[in-house]
Amino acid sequence: MLTEVRWHGRGGMGVVTAAELLAYSSILKGYYALAFPEFGAERRGAPVTAYNRVSERPISDRSPVLEPDCVVILDPTMVKRETLRGLKRGGFVVANTARKPGELSELLGHEYRYATVDATRIALDTLKLPIVNTAMSAALVSATKIVDLEHLIEALRARFSARVAELNERAVRRAYESTEVA
């Protein structure tokens, strides 16, 4: 099993942290995992891409993920066909949007599976900031079951201070339960 994930967002949304959380969660589950970013101009609001590879065997390939099994879109303005380039047929699109999965299927194509969650609303409600990385990590886990929710929460607790982890855990649990899959 090798699962490849490509994350799309903008600087300040926590794209790199989301990839790191997935890697650490995967390691906690007993897998091998890598997380690595790709930057253009490093500034808040600039497009950011990050990648994960998760496997039952050691991984050494750090090249960009060109044919992902899953694309995670943190910025609703990036929910476009071109963001899905290379996504494998039957692969998952996990998007931060108020739209339903069926709406994305009509917009982006029927050859993929879709999961949606309004991560921005969840982040604003729980964190009081539009930082959607943990909510989108939960949406990915909810849709794909790549790791268990408890592994993600354990990774959160290891990554953040107790107070920040507690707030993010609320966002994660809410996003996990709110993710719609089609």
* CATH number of the structural domain spanning residue 174: 3.40.920.10
Look up residue 32 and give its two tokens. 């091998």
Mean pLDDT computed over every residue of the chain: 95
Per-residue pLDDT tens for 104-162?
999 999 999 999 999 999 999 999 999 999 999 999 999 999 999 999 999 999 999 99
On the question of pLDDT at 41 being above 60, the answer is: no
Bridge partners (DSSP) of residue 54 are 3, 33
Sheet holding 2-10, edge to edge: 32-39, 47-55, 2-10, 70-73, 92-96, 113-117, 180-181
Number of domains in the chain: 1
Structural domain containing residue 56? 2-181
On the question of pLDDT at 45 being above 90, the answer is: no
